């Protein structure tokens, strides 16, 4: 009984926080929000969400035994809230100079997404050079940037960064980037306008993979390329029921289906062993399939 009351109070608090967030976003720089599509492609049952505190995520005291039933709408509200809380927690660690301790990684790097910066982006740059030697870009968007961007690793004239978490947006804006606080499912970017779109470790956490990929397809020029990093052959069992964390698996059996409207031009697995405390991931270079098939 008391846990049901507790869960109701938590939901009420979340709603109040969401209402105040929506209000502040309406008056902030660039947040656009219209209707969103249904939740799809999640490999876990999102309607049964484990009640895990943000502090516990990634630590040994993680518990997910207190399961809450949620509607699609509640999941979407909760998702934004969790994404925001994650960002605030991670940026606090960056601010306190302890991010490297949490990550068990390089103390010289003053960002949260340390493994991406140290291992994934250099490997992606190499893969890009091997596939398209000397390619430079005019317009590009990186979606779900968090605290790092691949645009630090390539030449590009008009880079835009996008993230759902307002605090990551402020962090990257303070470093001089042009940033949009938007949802990958609903971007304010013109159709057929981008030479490159980058999504690192983001397609595994978005609620709707279909909606995300459709939007990327919309903004990419017909000859543009899509650079992706996702967890690879990594099982979700230890994350089951946690919103804002890994929601789907990518592996040899499903990769073609997940990117069925895309051609995989190049791919490279980054094994877990490369990154201390990391998970295996894959770098992919993709093109819209009707384009490369007509070449």
Ligand X SMILES: C[S@@+](CC[C@H](N)C(=O)[O-])C[C@H]1O[C@@H](n2cnc3c(N)ncnc32)[C@H](O)[C@@H]1O
5, two tokens: 């009351």
Closest separation in Å from C-beta 107 to ligand X: 18
Question: CB 190 → ligand X: shortest distance, Å?
Answer: 18
Contact range with ligand X by CB under 6 A, out of 27-35, 169-177, 202-210, 268-276: 202-210
- Relative to beta strand 220-231, strand 281-288 is antiparallel
Contact letters for ligand X, residues 82-101 (x by CB under 6 A): -x---x--------------
Query: Tokens at residue 186, please?
Result: 């609903």
Residue 194 touching ligand X (CB under 6 A): no
Calpha distance 98→95 (Å, rounded): 8
Nearest to 295 by CA among 227, 229, 198, 225: 225
CA distances from 199 to 75, 213, 221 (A): 22, 10, 16
Q: Does 168 bind ligand X (CB under 6 A)?
A: yes
SS (H, E, C) 186-246: ECCCCCCCEEEEEEECCCCCCCEHHHHHHHHHHHEEEEEEEEEEEECCCCCHHHCCCCCCC
- Residue indicated by tokens 């035994």: 65
**Pairing between β-strand 194-200 and β-strand 48-50 as defined by DSSP bridges:** unpaired
99 vs 162, beta carbon nearer ligand X: 162
**Euclidean distance between the first and the last CA atom of the chain, given in angstroms as a whole number:** 64
213 lies in the site for ligand X, by CB under 6 A: no
For residues 265, 268, 269, 275, the Cα torsion angle rounded to the nearest 10 degrees is -140
Count of residues of this chain found to bind ligand X when the rule CB under 6 A is applied: 22
Q: Residue 83 or 139: which CB sits closer to ligand X?
A: 83
Binding of ligand X by 180 (CB under 6 A)? no
Binding ligand X (rule: CB under 6 A), the pick from 100, 113, 248, 288 is 113
Residue ranges in 127-156 that form contacts with ligand X under rule CB under 6 A? 143-146, 148
Binding of ligand X at residue 216 (CB under 6 A)?
A: no
DSSP H helical ranges for 156-225 = 166-174, 209-219
Shortest Cβ distance from residue 247 to ligand X (Å)?
10
The CB-of-185 to ligand X minimum distance in angstroms stands at 6
Residue 202 as a binder of ligand X (CB under 6 A): the answer is yes
Tell me how far, at minimum, the Cβ of 165 lies from ligand X, in Å: 4
Positions touching ligand X (CB under 6 A) are 83, 87, 113, 116, 143-146, 148, 162-165, 168, 183-185, 200-202, 205-206
């Amino acid at each position: 009984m008391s846990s049901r009351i507790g869960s109701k109070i938590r939901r009420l608090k979340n709603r109040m926080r969401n209402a105040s967030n929506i209000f502040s976003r309406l008056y902030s720089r660039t947040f656009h929000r219209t209707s969103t599509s249904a939740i799809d492609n999640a490999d876990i049952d999102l309607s049964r969400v484990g009640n895990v505190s943000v502090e516990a995520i990634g630590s040994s005291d993680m518990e997910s035994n207190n399961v809450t039933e949620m509607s699609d709408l509640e999941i979407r509200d909760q998702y934004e809230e969790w994404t925001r809380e994650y960002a605030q927690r991670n940026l606090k660690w960056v601010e306190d100079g302890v991010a490297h301790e949490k990550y068990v990684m390089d103390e010289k790097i003053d960002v949260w997404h340390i493994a991406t910066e140290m291992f994934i982006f250099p490997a992606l740059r190499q893969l890009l050079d091997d596939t398209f030697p000397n390619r430079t870009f005019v317009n590009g968007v990186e979606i779900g940037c968090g605290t790092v961007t691949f645009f630090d690793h390539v030449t590009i004239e008009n880079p835009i960064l996008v993230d759902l978490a307002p605090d990551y947006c402020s962090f990257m804006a303070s470093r001089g980037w042009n940033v949009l606080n938007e949802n990958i499912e609903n971007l304010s970017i013109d159709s057929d306008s981008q030479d490159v779109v980058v999504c690192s470790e983001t397609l595994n956490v978005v609620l709707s993979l279909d909606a995300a990929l459709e939007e990327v397809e919309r903004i990419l020029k017909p000859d543009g390329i899509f650079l992706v990093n996702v967890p690879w052959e990594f099982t979700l069992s230890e994350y089951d029921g946690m919103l804002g964390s890994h929601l789907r698996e990518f592996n040899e059996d499903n990769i073609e289906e997940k990117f069925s409207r895309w051609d995989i031009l190049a791919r490279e697995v980054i094994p877990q062993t490369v990154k201390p405390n990391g998970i295996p991931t894959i770098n992919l270079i993709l093109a819209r399939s009707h384009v490369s098939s007509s070449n």
